[in-house]
Structure 1
Amino acid sequence: MQRALTVSVAGLAMIAASPAAHAQQDDRAIQAMQSELSAMRAAMDAMNTRIEELEGELARTRSAKANGAIPADAVAAEQAALAAAQAEPLPAEEAPQTTIAWNGGPELSHPDGWSFGVSGRLNYDAAYIDAPESTGRDEGFSSGARRLRVEFEGEVPGNFGYDLGIEVGSGEAVVMDATISHRSGPVTFMVGQHNTFQSMEELSSSLHTSFIERAAFTDAFVFERRIGVSAQYFQDDFLVQGGLFTDNIEAPDNRNEGGDLRIAYTPRIGSTQLHVGGSVHYTDLDGLTDSLRYSQRPLARPPRTRFVDTGDFSADSETGIGAEAAAIMGRFHVAGEAFWQHVERADFADPTFFGGYAEIGYFLTPGDRRGYRKGVFDRIRPTNPLNEGGFGALQFNLRYDYLDLQEADIAGGEQNLYGASLVWTPTDYTRFLMNYAYIDYDSAVIPTASGDNDYGVHSLSARAQLDF
């Protein structure tokens, strides 16, 4: 039941501009306001001085008049001058101004707490799949738009935020994110459609993954955005994320319900960033259907063939347990995850499926390293980007990816994937990826003409990516 494209809910919270850009804008705004206030104070001081002078002159005039030294009309002239000085309006205070910044996309912000931003991404993929010809699934070359997404994010006064993401990749618009959020210190509350809290690989943006497609188990076990309420806490290297969820916004009539919890410890020791975490997932299948289906493509999305596939099977609930770890040490990084998906069934044996991966990566360009922020991999920012006369960042990665859908009375097959990827990041917002994988299938669901279910498939994919 993998959905082709889904939507994220960061609490209808549209782009809060980058901290560095906001900080610079705030400094300039504060300096401008201070300059205006200083000018106003100087004008007021001059007026007060003039009023004091006129009052003094008037007092002297009255005294002289009482002694018969000056005529009455001179006193009247002094009084009129003093009244005019006192009636002169103060300089008007200039209203706070909206500032516009550019952080990939345009970001507007106002001192009152309003902000609005637009972002998006374009992913164009091409793939070549070489499978045994007698399977009838030797798909050869294919290409298409993997992701065409636009997102609106922002904040409103009171530390509230919103996020709405729309994606077009299969000929129709799909809501990815639709959230309303509220920040209170280190805690962020969120309601709407957003990612459930399973797997570091799944929660890392597709803009920042080291392979074109994520690890097999994240897709096979249908990790997706769902409608729910959640809270996230991050402080002192500790991350806690938890929420209650129903189903994806595309299935509003489905009455599935469940919860997710993820905890991670993210210390930075010297120049080394560490990550250790785990997650628990539960869904009670109480919707219009009470069945599941787990399957996976051969590390490419344009082809639709799934060589491992459980088909539909009855189920009452699913429980997932995940473990994750990563380290970034200069140009080198390692990452790995394991996930067990246990399914409860009323009249059949309860299977426990398994998936996991191990990955190592290295930047061939000096000074570059993988990005990381709050429990997920983040943007790579080349030390010498192409737009500044450099080459950008070049990264090489190796991965082993395992998925077992062969359990109890369910014969979904097993795969061992051996992959390599080359990622060129010429600028902060552009990437070009190429990955190759040899996938060794045991008990594949698509046999050859001779009935063989154990064979290998070659997968070669490329992507051109830009985001703003």
Structure 2
Amino acid sequence: MALSRMAGALAHGLIASSVLVPASATAQEAGSTVTSASPDNEIAALRAQVAALEAQLANLSARLDGLQASQAEGAASPAPAAAPAAPSSAAATPQTSFAGAPQVRQAGGWSFKPFGRLNIDAGLTDLPDALGRGDGFSSEMRRMRLGVEGDIPGGFGYKAEVDFTGGAAELTDAYVTYRNGGLTLTAGQHNNFQGMEELTSSRWSTFIERAAFTDAFGFERRLGLSAQYSDGPVMLQGGVFTDNVDDLPAKNWSVDARAVYAPKRGETQLHFGASLHMADLEPGSTVRYRQRPLVHFTSERPLATPTIAAGREFGAGVEAAMLSGRWHANAEAFWQNVTVPGLAPDPTFFGGFVEVGYYLTNGDSRGYRSGKWERTRPARGVDAGGPGAWQINLRYDYLDLVDAGIAGGQQDGYFASLIWVPTTYTRLTVNYGHLEYAAAAFALPGGSRKWNADVLGVRGQVDF
């Protein structure tokens, strides 16, 4: 047998070694001053050692033969069931990735990611000197936000964000979601569905402030329950909302809905949408629509209606956009009707804009996803030795707050912007705006409410 042959070979090797070792030891000790035993005694001791070693090897060989026989018998019978494998520590170890900030994912569906943004604005507003209004240089910390988001096992998700601008903590987003296929349910404080311009994050806007009508008509996040369904190029959104959490408790409520059709034709992304806003206001409510000249760091509002007693609001909007390579274009229009007790007809105010933009750098394009604009990722960022992404944009921005005897002013705004995105998470925006006002809230000394203003704004941004 193989094991017996191995044992025999091992025995001969050990015996040879045992013979050589004493001889070697005797040769080494020959030059020593210590007197050694007689050769006859050494030979007798050596023979005794060899005999003992041979007995031990014979016993070992018998044991190996028995082991080999038992293995042969076991091969003919079924092998015993394997013990359950211990849980893999690798599967239980959280996996961490990095995209602007660390994201931790746990096996089973948990994830956690911090995020935030910092917007610092500065610039000039130039109003007619005869108005005697506060203009000139100004600056502000426009946004300083921190938040967390992630997934929960079972198709759930969460997001919470706080804005610390001005030294006070203001809750922006705070909601949970449930996703099942193309359906997403959202509960909590989040954006209702009043157009592409409003739903696009301020991090990706082509101007440092959104179109005038979005701020004038009071678009903001509200507490509510909503649903979104997506199927290919079609997306439907709708929900029931009350007020912003900072204004609660309140009895106001609204129904908001939006539909989007976004087909792709070759390399060109198209976008068409419409939205509705129907709000019921609690008794004694008032509204006031007003707007700054493009930038937020001025407190002047050349457009402003008086305070209006209001029972209901009804808004309707349309939107369209196109994205093709370096080019993009988009336009929106929104009508806001207010039910005013004791006034007939009810006033309807209007706002809208048209925009076109182009990337000067090869390979760069504006991001688009799920019915809104998204992040620009430079094809060759400065961190990779490139120039970053450079974009120019032109916009015409119109707002009319004059109707049914209410004079809140009219605006024709002509805007231009230059945007530099050096890396995926940094951005510099320079805006210029020329605004022409009629029926403005401020009158010149001669009584005229028709005058012009110029504005320059700069924003530095970091987000993660």
Same fold (TM over 0.5): yes
Residue 58 to residue 356, structure 1, CA distance change in 2 (3 Å): closer
Report the alpha carbon displacement of residue 409 of structure 1 after superposing the two structures with TM: 1.8
Distance in 2, matches of 1:436 and 1:206, equals 18
The residue number in structure 1 matching 2:183 is: 187
1:93 aligns to 2:87 (yes or no): yes
Q: Give percent identity, aligned residues only.
A: 46
Helix, strand or coil for the counterpart of 1:207? coil
| Cα deviation code 1:393-413 (max 9, x no counterpart) | 100000000000011121101
The residue number in structure 2 matching 1:308 is: 303
RMSD (Å), alpha carbons: 2.0
In the alignment of these two chains, the number of paired residues is 394
When normalised by structure 1's length, the TM-score is 0.81
Pick aligned residue for 1:232 from 205, 212, 228 = 228
Report the alpha carbon displacement of residue 251 of structure 1 after superposing the two structures with TM: 1.1
The residue number in structure 2 matching 1:199 is: 195
Distance in 2, matches of 1:58 and 1:292, equals 89
The residue number in structure 2 matching 1:282 is: 278
Amino acid of the structure 2 residue aligned with 1:296: Q
Gaps of 5+ in 1: 1-50, 61-81
The residue number in structure 2 matching 1:372 is: 368
Report the alpha carbon displacement of residue 90 of structure 1 after superposing the two structures with TM: 6.2
Report the alpha carbon displacement of residue 467 of structure 1 after superposing the two structures with TM: 0.3
Amino acid of the structure 2 residue aligned with 1:213: E
Residue 91 to residue 129, structure 1, CA distance change in 2 (3 Å): same
Distance in 2, matches of 1:59 and 1:233, equals 60
Report the alpha carbon displacement of residue 311 of structure 1 after superposing the two structures with TM: 2.4
1:256 aligns to 2:252 (yes or no): yes
The residue number in structure 2 matching 1:170 is: 166
1:295 aligns to 2:290 (yes or no): yes
Amino acid of the structure 1 residue aligned with 2:337: H
The residue number in structure 1 matching 2:12 is: none
1:153 aligns to 2:169 (yes or no): no
Helix, strand or coil for the counterpart of 1:427? coil
Runs of 4+ in 1 over 3 A off after TM superposition: 51-60, 85-91
The residue number in structure 2 matching 1:122 is: 118
| Cα deviation code 1:109-162 (max 9, x no counterpart) | 112110111000000000200001121224100001100001110111101111
Amino acid of the structure 1 residue aligned with 2:388: G
Q: How does 1:70-81 map to 2 (within 5 A)?
A: none
Distance in 2, matches of 1:358 and 1:466, equals 27
Gaps of 5+ in 2: 1-66
CA contact (8 A) 1:439 1:458 kept: yes
Distance in 1, matches of 2:265 and 2:84, equals 57
Distance in 2, matches of 1:271 and 1:302, equals 39
The residue number in structure 2 matching 1:345 is: 340
Report the alpha carbon displacement of residue 375 of structure 1 after superposing the two structures with TM: 0.2
Pick aligned residue for 1:354 from 341, 350, 357 = 350
Amino acid of the structure 1 residue aligned with 2:437: Y
Amino acid of the structure 2 residue aligned with 1:364: L
The residue number in structure 2 matching 1:448 is: 444
Pick aligned residue for 1:386 from 373, 382, 401 = 382
Distance in 1, matches of 2:370 and 2:412, equals 31
CA contact (8 A) 1:255 1:286 kept: yes
Amino acid of the structure 2 residue aligned with 1:199: G
CA contact (8 A) 2:134 2:300 kept: no
Pick aligned residue for 2:318 from 313, 323, 330 = 323
Report the alpha carbon displacement of residue 390 of structure 1 after superposing the two structures with TM: 0.2
Report the alpha carbon displacement of residue 268 of structure 1 after superposing the two structures with TM: 1.3
Distance in 2, matches of 1:180 and 1:213, equals 28
CA contact (8 A) 1:400 1:418 kept: yes
The residue number in structure 1 matching 2:13 is: none
Helix, strand or coil for the counterpart of 1:250? helix
Q: How does 1:413-428 map to 2 (within 5 A)?
A: 413-428=409-424
Residue 215 to residue 59, structure 1, CA distance change in 2 (3 Å): closer
Distance in 1, matches of 2:387 and 2:405, equals 53
Residue 146 to residue 89, structure 1, CA distance change in 2 (3 Å): same
Report the alpha carbon displacement of residue 450 of structure 1 after superposing the two structures with TM: 2.4
Report the alpha carbon displacement of residue 88 of structure 1 after superposing the two structures with TM: 9.3
The residue number in structure 1 matching 2:463 is: 467
Flag the structure with more relative contact order, 1 or 2, with Cα contacts below 8 A and sequence separation at least 6: 1
Report the alpha carbon displacement of residue 170 of structure 1 after superposing the two structures with TM: 2.3
The residue number in structure 2 matching 1:70 is: none
Helix, strand or coil for the counterpart of 2:172? strand
Amino acid of the structure 2 residue aligned with 1:246: T
Pick aligned residue for 1:208 from 192, 204, 208 = 204
Residue 86 to residue 397, structure 1, CA distance change in 2 (3 Å): same
Amino acid of the structure 2 residue aligned with 1:256: N
Amino acid of the structure 2 residue aligned with 1:357: F
| Cα deviation code 1:404-442 (max 9, x no counterpart) | 001112110111000000000111111100000000000
The residue number in structure 2 matching 1:33 is: none
Amino acid of the structure 1 residue aligned with 2:406: I
Report the alpha carbon displacement of residue 52 of structure 1 after superposing the two structures with TM: 11
Helix, strand or coil for the counterpart of 2:274? strand
The residue number in structure 2 matching 1:47 is: none
CA contact (8 A) 1:342 1:351 kept: yes
Amino acid of the structure 1 residue aligned with 2:86: A
Distance in 1, matches of 2:135 and 2:279, equals 35
| Cα deviation code 1:320-344 (max 9, x no counterpart) | 0000000011111110000000111
CA contact (8 A) 1:132 1:138 kept: no
The residue number in structure 1 matching 2:5 is: none
The residue number in structure 2 matching 1:335 is: 330
